[in-house]
Amino acid sequence: MKLSVIIPCYNEIDTIDTIIQQVLAVDLPLDRQIMVVDDCSTDGTRNYLQQLQTRPEITVVFHEENQGKGAALHTGFAHATGDFVLIQDADLEYDPQEYHGCYSLFWKIKQMWCTALDSLAAIRIGCCIFGIRWGTVS
């Protein structure tokens, strides 16, 4: 099982390193993909993220023009490869240590209602928006 964490960002040079380190530090029984989508930042965030492209656990996608958070999320969903998908804002508003509660809830839902749906269900639970790709979970 794999968790994709989508981090949309725009001009987050002051917090992007901290949030990525916090996400990496979360201990969950899942492989993970960290997907950072830069929405054409102009404050040095892009330069920082370019340095991370060699790290295999981090995927970075760059928008060539600012398109807004919704477009950044759409890009992240298109590149996500996990069975579970979580949205983590880059501004430190939510604590990645709260992923445990989201994971536990969705694991219970998966066990109770796993069907052949080939869609993404998402819910906001305090700290985050967390989703499960029903069609890929076994």
Prediction pTM value: 0.79
Residue that has been written with the tokens 């492209």 in this structure: 53
Tell me: the pLDDT tens digits for 13-61? Answer: 999 999 999 999 999 888 999 999 999 999 999 999 999 989 988 999 9
Q: What percent of the chain is modeled with pLDDT above 90?
A: 53
| pLDDT at res. 38 | 98
**What does the alpha-carbon distance between residue 87 and residue 26 come to, in Å, rounded to a whole number?**
14
Domains within the chain, CATH numbers bracketed = 2-136 (3.90.550.10)
